[in-house]
Amino acid sequence: MEAVSHIAAGVAHELRNPLSVIKGFLQLAQLTNDFQKYYDTILAELNRMNAIIEDFLSVSRRKMDRKLQSPVQIMKSLVEIMKAECLLHDVEFAMNLKETALLINVNESIIKQIMLNLLRNSIEAFGKSNQNRKFKITTAICDNEYFILVKDNGKGMPEEVLKQLGKPFFTTKESGTGIGIPLCKKMIEDHGGTFKIESTFNVGTTVILSLPLITT
Ligand code: ADP
Ligand code: MG
């Protein structure tokens, strides 16, 4: 919960910016009697506010209770929805799972939400390019940790983006929120796991996360 309340404070702060833009533009619209001129900006700011709220609620709304679950089953339960998303965006989808009978102690819906967030980032990283777009999930076991690698061959990140990555509200997208990555990272770390990102500009991005396997 601590991670969430920290981000909640940021969300409230971040919502104030578009709010004051909207307020200012409404006042301008009235003064100049030219509503049309300010309409697009107001709508864009409202959409941004909505996106921030949606992104935040998608994770924080969920009950935090955890259960012992099979990481393999969780990943398998994501296949259909991920396949459909990829098909829709002309992306080749692949999943290569390491089978295990071992369990992880997680909130399943949070883990799924994180994976879908990462998929969304990958899809957004393809932009309009027509290259052979690929999205691949690979899992592995190492030192009692279940590793999940999420790889895309999208546009990757230049050095200056990588440096900022993980800062709440850092985004390079016009209507981005910049809370996807920080929330994912906090949630995984909250589960006792690790989260890191490797990326090469114009080559692609790999998110590597791990969750502790319960061995006793
Ligand atoms: P948002 O998606 O709203 O911008 P995120 O926190 O999810 O916020 O991501 C922050 C930034 O990290 C993005 O704006 C983008 O520049 C970069 N990024 C995240 N994932 C990827 C990816 N798979 N490929 C390239 N860049 C990425
Ligand atoms: Mg995102």
ipTM beyond cut 0.95: yes
- Take atom 8 of ligand 1 and give the residue whose Cα is closest: 178
> What pLDDT digit, counting tens, does each position of 117-154 carry?
999 999 999 988 777 999 999 999 999 999 999 999 99
Which carries the bigger pLDDT value, residue 63 or residue 78?
Answer: 78
Ligand nearest to the CA of 199: 1
Say how far apart CA 64 and CA 190 lie, in whole Å: 10
Contact (Cβ atoms closer than 8 angstroms) between residue 134 and residue 205: no
CA distances from 215 to 12, 36, 100, 103, 145 (A): 40, 63, 11, 8, 10
Question: What is the distance in A from the centroid of ligand 1 to the CA of 216?
Answer: 37
Assigned architecture for domain 2-214? 2-Layer Sandwich (3.30)
In the chain, % of residues over pLDDT 90: 54
Task: Indicate if the pLDDT at residue 203 is higher than 70.
Answer: yes
For the chain, give percent helix, strand, coil, nearest 5. 50, 20, 30
Question: What is the distance in A from the centroid of ligand 1 to the CA of 181?
Answer: 7
Encoding tokens for residue 35? 């509503």
Ligand nearest to the CA of 176: 1
* Strand, helix or coil for residue 94: strand
